[in-house]
Structure 1
Amino acid sequence: MVSAMGMTALLGGCGSTGSSDVTLRLVAADYGDSPANSSKKYWDSLVKAYEATHSGVKVEVSVYSWNDVDRKVKEMVDAGHAPDLAQIGAYADYAAAGKLYAASDLLSIRTQADFLSQLADAGQWNHVQYGIPFAASTRVLFYNKTMFESAGLTPPSSWDQLAADAKVLKDKGVKYPFALPLGPEEAQAETMQWMLSGGDGGSGGTGYTDDIGTYTIDSQQNVSTFTWLKDDLVDKGLTGPVAPGKLNRAQAFAAFADGQVGMVNGHPTLIQQAEQKGVRFGMVPTPSRSGRARSSMGVSDWMMAFKQNGHAEQTGDFLNYVYSRKNVLDFSRTYGLLPVTSSASNVMSASDAAPDKALHPFLDQLATSEMYPVGKTSWAAVSAAVKQNIGQALAPGGSPAGVLTRLQATATAADSASAN
C-alpha cells in the first residue's frame, strides 16, 4: 500500500530469560520514508510501554522495507522458524496452510468488535477471520489547483468532464494532463479504481470479482472501461509522454509534486509529498462514468499470528494493546494512513486539527470502499499478472478486450489451482 524506502532495522534478542518468561517475535513492514520516521521508532516506543506493565513478556521487533518484508516472513516460515506475529501485505496463503490463529482465538470481544466491518470481512479466509487489518487507505483524485484556476476549470465528477479538463490542460502545455500509472509497480490499484468507477447509471463497476467472489476481470463493464481509457484519454494524448504501461505510481506522484501533472488518482502519502514541494492541490472523489456516487477502492495491510510457537495468550494480550484507540491513532497520524478501528476513526473524523483534517476525504471514502480480493489464495498470482500486463491494453494497437480476456483466463486457472 505504501512504498517504504528501504529502511531496514533488526532488534536482536536472546530469547526467553526464564521459564516463566515469553519472548514474542514480530516482523513488521516499514512505513517510513527515511531513518527519521522509520516504523522502528513507532514499535520501539509501543513495545517499551507494553513491557513496562507486562514483566513476563518481551517483544522483539524486526522492521524491513516493503521490498523485503513479505519475502523475509516467507523465508522464516519455510525454514520452520515462523515469527509469532507478522505485519505484511497478505495472509491468505498462510491461513489456507493452517499456520495462523483465527482472530477470535486471540483478541478480546471488544477489540474484535472495534474493527471496521469491511476490513474485518476482507480478513476472512473460508469465512473465518485470520487477517487482522493494520493500516488502511483509499484513493481520491488529486488536482493541481493552480492549473485549474488558471484554466477556469472545476474538478471533474464524471469521466466526460475529466477528459474535457484534460484536453484544456493539454492545450495549455501541461506535461501530464491526467497521469495514468499502469506500470508494474502498483497497476493493480489504478486498475481496480477504474473498474469500480465504471458502472452505468450510478451503479458500481464490478471490480476484480463479483459479489460471490468469482473473478469478473473481462466483464462487459470492465472492457468498456478500458476501451474508454484507450479511446478517450490515451489515444488523444491526454495522459502525458510516458505510456501508461511504463509509468509507475512513484513516477506519477513525483511528477505531480513537481507541478507537471494536472490530475492523478492518489492515496494519503501524496499529501505530504506535494506539500513539501509547495504544490497547491485539491482532492475530490474519483470521477465515475456517470458522475454519480460509487464505490472507491480501499486497501489494507495485515497483521497475522502464527501458531507454531504456541503463544496464543501472550500474543492476544499484546495485540489487544496494539489495537487500543491511542495506539491506532498514533500510528495513523504518524504515517498518514487511515485507522482500522471505529473508535479511532470516530476521533479522526471529528477532529479539525492537523494531520487528521487532511485525511477526511480519504476517511469519507472508507465506509463504502471495496477491497482487493485478498481472501483468495489466488490473488497474489492475479495481482502479479495485472501488474505485468494491463498496460498492454492501452498500448498503440492494443486490445482492451483481448488483454482482459487473457487476464481472466489467468485468474480462473489460478483460482482453480488454489482450490485443489
Structure 2
Amino acid sequence: MTVALAGCSGSDGGDVTLTLVAADYDPEGGDSTKRYWDGVAEAFEAENKGIKVDVTIHDWKDVDREVAEMVEAGKAPDIAQIGAYADYAADGKLYSVDEMLSIPVQANMLAPLAEAGEVGRVSYGIPFVASTRLLFYNQKLFTQAGLEPPKTWDGIETAAKALKARGVKYPFALPLGNEEAQAETMMWMLSNGGGYTDSVGTYTIDSEQNVQVFGWLRDTLVGEGLTGPVAPAELDRKPAFTAFANGEVGMLNGHPSLLQQAGKKGVKVGMVPLPGPKGKARSSMGVADWMMGFKQNGHASEIGKFLDFAYSDENVLKFADEYDLLPVTVSASEAMSADPAHKDLWPFLAALPESTLYPVGKTSWAKVSESVKKQIGTAVGPNGDPTGTLTAIGREASAMENAE
C-alpha cells in the first residue's frame, strides 16, 4: 500500500512517502539496523516537511531477492540498500547518481568505490559502507596450543590440526552456506592468485587457480575434519561469527564487525592477511554494499534530498561505528584514520585502496552471485567435484554475460 500511495503522490505536489528497503547488519539478529534507519528518517523528516520515509529491513540472505521480487511485481522501492545494482541499471530502472546526489556529496565518495558503481561509465550505484577481509584467529586458543599466526596454507592446516587435537569445536570455520558464500569463495580464489574475473573483466570462475584452491579445501580442511560439526555448505556467516565470538572457532575469514562482536564476549582477536600457498595473498578482498534510487515512482528530487542527508559525516560515522565497518566518504575516512578510538580498524582501512572488489559493474553479477551461493558448498563436500562445480557456475556466468 505504501508503495502504491507513494507512486501517486509526488506528481501533484502533495506529500511524498519514500520507501527504503535496506539490509540488516546486526550480527546478533537484533533490531539495531532498523533503529538506525528509523533515526535517520525521523531526523530527515523533521527538516523536510512533506517527505516521509518508510523503512523496511531484511536479512542479508533475503534482501536482494526481496527487492528483485518487488521490482518484478512493479512495486520497486524508491531506495534500496543491497548487494548489487548493475542489472537494474542496465534495465533502465535506476536514476543515475548525478540525478540524485548533490555535487559536494558525489565528490566526497572514495574514488575506487565510486568508480565501482559505474555501468557504461555512468554511475548508478552509490557505495554505502565498505569492508576488507582478514584472517581472524582466537589469540587465547593459539597461545594455549603454542601456535604462531599462519602465513601459508600449510600453516593453516598445521594450526587447524593442533586446535582439533585440543578439542576446539571449529578449528577453521568455513561458511559456504547461502548467506554470503560468494564472499568466502572470492577470498579463497584471491588467496591462490585467482578470482571471479581476469584483468579485463572476463569471468574466469573455473580457472586452474580456482579449481586448485577448492580441491585443497575439500581434501585438507574438510577432508581432514578441520571445519567443525556443520558442513560448510550448511554453515552461514552469521552463526560462524557467533561461534567465533563464543570462543568455539580457532580461525575464520572475518570482516571488521566481528571485532566488536568478539570483544563483547571477551574473545581476543588476532588478525593477519589471508595466507596463500606460499605466503600472503596477492590481493585482499574488499566489499562495498550499494545504495540506489529507482525511477518507478518518480521521486528523484526527494530521494536525492534524503541521500544527501544520509551521507553526512555524522550519519556515515555513526553507522560505521555501530558495526565496525569502513566509511565510503573521504571526510569520514579521514576522521576515522585520525581517531585512535578506531585503531583496530586501521589495518582494514589500509587494505582498502589495494583490495579487489566483486565485479559489481557486470549486469550479470547479481545472478552469478546467487549461483555461487547455491552451488559452491557442494564443491568441498565428501563427494565434491571442484572442477565440475566451478565449470557449471562458470558456464552459467558466461551465458548470462553473453545475454547482456
Q: TM-score, normalised by structure 1?
A: 0.86
The correspondence for 1:363, drawn from 349, 352, 366, is 349
1:176 is aligned to 2:192: no
**What is the percent sequence identity of the aligned residues?**
57
Find out whether 1:254 has 2:242 as its counterpart: yes
The DSSP-based 3-state class of the residue aligned with 2:48 is: coil
RMSD (Å), alpha carbons: 2.7
Tell me the residue number matched to 2:53: 60
Deviation at 1:227, TM superposition (A): 2.2
> Deviation per CA, 1:260-294, whole angstroms, max 9, x where unpaired?
22111112232233233332222222222332352
C-alpha displacement at 1:72, in angstroms?
4.3
Q: Post-superposition shift, 1:332?
A: 1.2
Structure-1 residue corresponding to 2:379: 393
Tell me the residue number matched to 1:164. Answer: 158
The structure 2 residue matched to 1:409, chosen from 391, 395, 398, is: 395
Query: For 1:152, what is the secondary structure of its paired residue?
Result: coil
Question: Where do 5+ consecutive residues of structure 2 fail to align?
Answer: none
Measured in 2, the distance between the counterparts of 1:287 and 1:140 equals 9
**Aligned equivalents of 1:16, 1:293: Cα separation in 2:** 53
- What is the CA–CA distance in structure 2 between the aligned matches of 1:75 and 1:224, rounded to whole Å? 36
Consecutive unaligned residues in structure 1, runs of 5 or more: 1-9, 199-204
2:117–2:127 CA contact under 8 A, matched in 1: yes
Aligned to 2:206, the other structure's residue is in SS state coil
Distance 1:291 1:90 in 2: 32
Change in CA separation of 1:311 and 1:192 when aligned onto 2, cut-off 3 Å: same
**Equivalence for 2:279:** 291
* 1:97 aligned to which of 84, 91, 94: 91
In structure 2, what residue type is equivalent to 1:98? G
Identify the residue that residue 184 of structure 2 maps to in structure 1: 190
User: What's the counterpart of residue 305 of structure 2?
Assistant: 317
CA contact (8 A) 2:94 2:294 kept: yes
Q: What residue number does 1:273 align with?
A: 261
Helix, strand or coil for the counterpart of 1:143?
A: strand
In structure 1, distance between residues paired with 2:236 and 2:66:
24
- 1:244 aligns with 232
SS in 2 for 1:370: coil
**How far has the Cα of 1:13 moved from its partner?**
8.5
Q: Give the stretch that moved more between structures: 106-115 or 74-83.
A: 74-83
Q: Which amino acid aligns with 1:310?
A: G
Q: Secondary structure at the match of 2:340?
A: coil
**Which structure has more helix as a fraction of its residues?**
2
* Among 44, 56, 62, the residue aligned to 2:38: 44
**Which structure 2 residues correspond to residues 338-353 of structure 1 after superposition, within 5 A?**
338-353=326-341
Matched residue of 1:371: which SS?
Answer: coil
User: Distance between the aligned counterparts of 1:306 and 1:192, measured in 2?
Assistant: 29
Quote the Cα distance in structure 2 between the aligned partners of 1:167 and 1:317.
55
Question: What is the rounded CA distance, in whole Å, between the counterparts of 1:36 and 1:243 in structure 2?
Answer: 26
Partner deviation per Cα, 1:6-32 (whole Å, 9 max, x = no partner) = xxxx99998869964552503132333
Q: Distance in 2 between matches of 1:73 and 1:21?
A: 26
Aligned residue number for residue 7 of structure 1 = none
Q: Contact 1:134–1:300 at 8 Å: present in 2 too?
A: yes
TM-score, length of structure 2 as denominator length: 0.89
Matched with 1:124 is 118
User: Aligned residues, how many?
Assistant: 400
Give the distance between the partners of 1:19 and 1:388, measured in 2 at CA: 45
For residues 326-360 of structure 1, the C-alpha deviation after alignment (integer angstroms, 9 at most, x for no partner) is 2211121123321111211111122111xx23333
The letter for the 2-side match of 1:149 is: T
Between the aligned partners of 2:148 and 2:265, the Cα distance in structure 1 is: 23
Q: CA deviation at 1:401?
A: 2.0
Rate the CA distance shift 1:84–1:248 in 2: closer, same or farther, 3 A: closer
> Which residue is equivalent to 2:363?
377
Tell me the CA shift for residue 94 of structure 1: 1.5
C-alpha contact 2:21 2:67 (8 A) present in aligned 1? no
Corresponding residue number in structure 1 for 2:207: 219
CA distance in 1: counterparts of 2:68 and 2:14, whole angstroms: 27
Q: Give the whole-Å Cα distance in 1 for the aligned partners of 2:365 and 2:42.
A: 37
C-alpha separation between the residues in 2 aligned to 1:177 and 1:73?
A: 37
Equivalent residue runs for 1:191-210 within 5 Å = 191-198=185-192, 205-210=193-198
Deviation, structure 1 residue 65:
1.8
Q: Does 1:149 align with 2:143?
A: yes
Using the TM superposition, name which of 319-328 and 42-51 deviates more.
Answer: 42-51
